[in-house]
Amino acid sequence: MESVSKSKKDDIVVLKIKGGIHHIDTPSFEKELVSVIEERNYKIVLDLTQTEYLCSSSLGVLISLERKIKRKGGDIRLVIIKAEILKVLQITLLNKVFRIFSSLEEAIKSFNEGNV
């Protein structure tokens, strides 16, 4: 994983993941996501438009994060434009768990539509 950048728009935290998330990156990926929740941010958009690869352990982190956020009354959205990343989510049926958008603007707007 090359980098994770964090920004905030109103009460929505956007994490932009650049590079691949390999098994060795999973602990730092998880730490970053957990810190967002610990800061009481329960609306999260993961921008995966610059993500090249997701390993199986990173998918486990996403599932764990989703459960924690749902218990707090929040939700997570994913922004994906690369067919390879989308295919991984489809094969694992995680496209049924997460709301997936093709643009950051659409993902942020979805929170404002009252569909948490």
Give pLDDT tens digits for 52-81: 999 999 999 999 999 999 999 999 999 999
Cβ-contact 33, 45 below 8 angstroms? no
Distance of CA 17 to the CA centre of its chain: 9
- What's the pLDDT at 114? 63
CATH of span 3-112: 3.30.750.24
Integer-rounded Cα radius of gyration of the chain: 13
Give pLDDT tens digits for 9-22: 999 999 999 999 99
Q: Which amino acid is at 45?
A: V
Q: Which amino acid is at 104?
A: L
Element holding 35 (H helix, E strand)? helix 26-38
Q: What is the pTM for the complete model shown?
A: 0.92
Structure tokens at 107: 């993902």
